Amino acid sequence: MKIAILGGTGDLGKGLALRLAKMNEVIIGSREKEKAEKIAEEYKKEAEKYDLNLKFIGLTNQEAVESSDKIIISVPHEVLPQFLITLKNYEGKLFISPIVPMTKTKFGFSYEPFRIGDKEVSAAELIRSTLQGARVVSAFHTVPAMKLSDLNAKLNYDVLVAAEDRATFADAAEIISSIEGLNPLYAGKLYVSKYLESLTPLLLNIALNNGLHAPSLKIV
Ligand SMILES: NC(=O)c1ccc[n+]([C@@H]2O[C@H](COP(=O)([O-])OP(=O)(O)OC[C@H]3O[C@@H](n4cnc5c(N)ncnc54)[C@H](OP(=O)(O)O)[C@@H]3O)[C@@H](O)[C@H]2O)c1
C-alpha cells in the first residue's frame, strides 16, 4: 500500500513511518518539501541502524494527499482547524486521525474537544466536517511514538478504531495490521471518537500517578 503521513516529520510520524515502511510505500508530508526530503533521508539512515533497507519519499503535505488514497494526519491538535482548510483534492480518500486534543494542567492531562458552533466535537469529527467527501477514521491515539520509533521494541497493543462503517474500518485495519504487534479493534461509528481520543489523557494521568512510562492498551 502507498500511505502518506501529513506532518510525517514529527514524533508520531517518525514512528509510524519506520514501522509502516517495512510493508508499505511511505510518503512523508511536511509544510516544506526540503524538510520532508531531508527527514525522509534521515528515516532511511535510522532504519539502516537496524539493518533495514527502507525507502521514504518526502513531499509537501498537499503533494502527499494527491499521491496517495490512504493518509494519516499527524499534526498537533492546536493547528488542526487551520491546517485542514489548506488541503484540496481529498474527496474519496481515506484519512486516519490519531489526533488527541488535550492540555496539561497542574492537576494532570485534560481532554479538550473542538467546537463547531455550540457543539463539542472530536478531532475526527472536525476532520469529517471540514474535509467533506473524505472517508475519516479515528485510530492510533494510544500508541506511543517512542515505542514505534524504537524498532527493537516489540509491540503488543490493541488499536481502537472509530469509523462510520465496517468497510471503512476494514481499510484502516489493513494499514494498522501491517505494523507487527498492532491489533485493530472496531469501537464503533465516528461519534465514539471522543471516547477514544480521551483515553490518551486518561492513560497519561494513570502513568503520571503510578510512575508508568509510555502507557498503551491491550483489552483483556
Ligand atoms: N507523540 C505521540 O506519542 C502521539 C501518540 C498518539 C497520538 N498523537 C497525536 O499525533 C499528532 C502528532 O503528534 P506529534 O507528537 O508527532 O506532533 P509534533 O511532533 O509536535 O508535530 C508533528 C508535525 O506537525 C507539523 N506542524 C507543526 N505545526 C504545524 C502547523 N502550524 N501547520 C501544519 N503542520 C504543522 C510539523 O511538520 P512540518 O514542520 O514538517 O510541517 C511537525 O513535524 C498529535 O495530534 C498528537 O495528539 C501523538
**What pLDDT score was predicted for residue 49?**
97
Q: Measuring from atom 5 of ligand 1, which residue has the nearest CA?
A: 144
Compute the average pLDDT of residues 24-41.
Answer: 98
Rounded to whole angstroms, the Cα distance separating 93 from 68 reads 8
Compute the distance from residue 210 Cα to the ligand 1 centre, in Å: 27
Looking at every residue in the chain, the average pLDDT score rounds to 98
For the ranges 99-103, 104-108, 148-152, 176-180, the lowest mean pLDDT is seen at: 104-108
Q: Measuring from atom 7 of ligand 1, which residue has the nearest CA?
A: 141
Q: What percentage of residues in the chain have a pLDDT greater than 70?
A: 100
Q: Domain residue spans in the chain?
A: 2-210
**Closest atom, ligand 1, to C-alpha of 102:** 47
Query: Three-class SS string for the chain?
Result: CEEEEECCCCHHHHHHHHHHCCCCEEEEEECCHHHHHHHHHHHHHHHHCCCCCCCEEEEEHHHHHHHCCEEEECCCHHHHHHHHCCCCCCCCCEEEECCCCEEEECCEEEECCEEECCEEECHHHHHHHHCCCCEEEECCCCCCHHHHHCCCCCCCEEEEEEECCHHHHHHHHHHHHCCCCEEEEEEECHHHHHHHHHHHHHHHHHHHHHCCCCCCCCCC
Rounded to whole angstroms, the Cα distance separating 137 from 175 reads 12
Compute the average pLDDT of residues 5-19.
Answer: 98
- Express each pLDDT in 38-61 by its tens digit: 999 999 999 999 999 999 999 999
**What pLDDT score was predicted for residue 186?**
98
- Express each pLDDT in 168-181 by its tens digit: 999 999 999 999 99
**What pLDDT score was predicted for residue 117?**
95
Instruction: Choose one of 5, 75, 99 to mutate for the ligand 1 pocket test, by most ligand atoms within 8 angstroms of C-beta.
Output: 75
Ligand 1 touching residue 149 (CB < 6 A): no
The CATH class of 2-210 is alpha beta
Looking at the DSSP bridge assignments, the partners of residue 72 are: 5, 96
Rounded to whole angstroms, the Cα distance separating 211 from 58 reads 38
Closest C-alpha among 200, 215, 196 to residue 108: 200
Compute the distance from residue 200 Cα to the ligand 1 centre, in Å: 15
For the ranges 89-93, 102-106, 135-139, 198-202, the lowest mean pLDDT is seen at: 102-106
Compute the average pLDDT of residues 107-130.
Answer: 97
**What pLDDT score was predicted for residue 157?**
98
**What pLDDT score was predicted for residue 56?**
98
Pairing, β 157-163 against β 135-138: antiparallel
